[in-house]
Every structure is written in C-alpha cells, then in structure tokens.
Amino acid sequence: MGDEKLLKEIGLRINARRKELGLTQEELAERMEVSIQMISNVELGKKAIRPENLVKLCNALNVSADYILRGSRADWEVIGFMEKYTRLSAENQQLLEKLAENLIK
C-alpha cells in the first residue's frame, strides 16, 4: 500500500474516532497539546503523525496504536465492547446482532 493511501486511511480512522467521541479538532488538539493544524493535516492524510504525538492521540481517543495505524481493534477494545453488549437487554442484544448481520451483508 502506498504511503499516501496509508496516511489517508489513518486520517479517516482518527477522524471517525474523534467524531464518535463527540470531539472537535480543537478539543482534540487541546487534549494532545498540539495545534489544530496538525490535527487537520493528519486527518486529511497530508502528514504523518510523529511517534510522541501518536501516544498522545491514542490516549486522547482511548484507542490502541494498532487501531490507528492498521485498523485493528486491540483485545481490550473488543472486551470493552463485549462488556457493554452483556449489559444490554436480550431484546437489544438481538437488535444489535441483526444490525451487525445487515452491515456485514
């Protein structure tokens, strides 16, 4: 995979996770103690993220570096999802399962 494509995919994952948490670029930048421009450039895939900022990013977004870099959820993230799943009612578990099946199709 080319560097440009990889950077864009990383940026998309960062953007999606930031939005999932309801954060603006400014709020994420504040949490990481970096500029908004840096967040924007990384999300757009224009620049690579430096290792020290990757650590800050993962902490701010509560995700693993593996997820940011490769799109793989770490075991602890899957376990966190499963803990939430088990707290759902049986009816909501079935709804979630149907939703997952439809998304896979």
pLDDT of residue 78: 67
Q: What is the spatial distance between Cα 104 and Cα 39, in angstroms, rounded to a whole number?
A: 31
pLDDT of residue 6: 92
Domain shared by 40 and 5, yes or no: yes
- Domain count across the chain: 2
Report the candidate in 22, 1, 13, 27 with the shortest Cα–Cα distance to residue 63.
13
Kindly report, residue by residue over 33-72, the tens digit of the pLDDT: 999 999 999 999 999 999 999 999 999 998 889 889 988 7
| Whether 77 contacts 63, CB under 8 Å | yes
Average pLDDT, the chain: 90
**Domain of 46?**
1-72
Domain shared by 24 and 51, yes or no: yes
Domain shared by 10 and 48, yes or no: yes
Domain shared by 48 and 6, yes or no: yes
Domain shared by 60 and 16, yes or no: yes
Domain shared by 44 and 64, yes or no: yes
Domain shared by 11 and 25, yes or no: yes
pLDDT of residue 76: 57
Tell me the whole-structure pTM to 2 decimals: 0.69
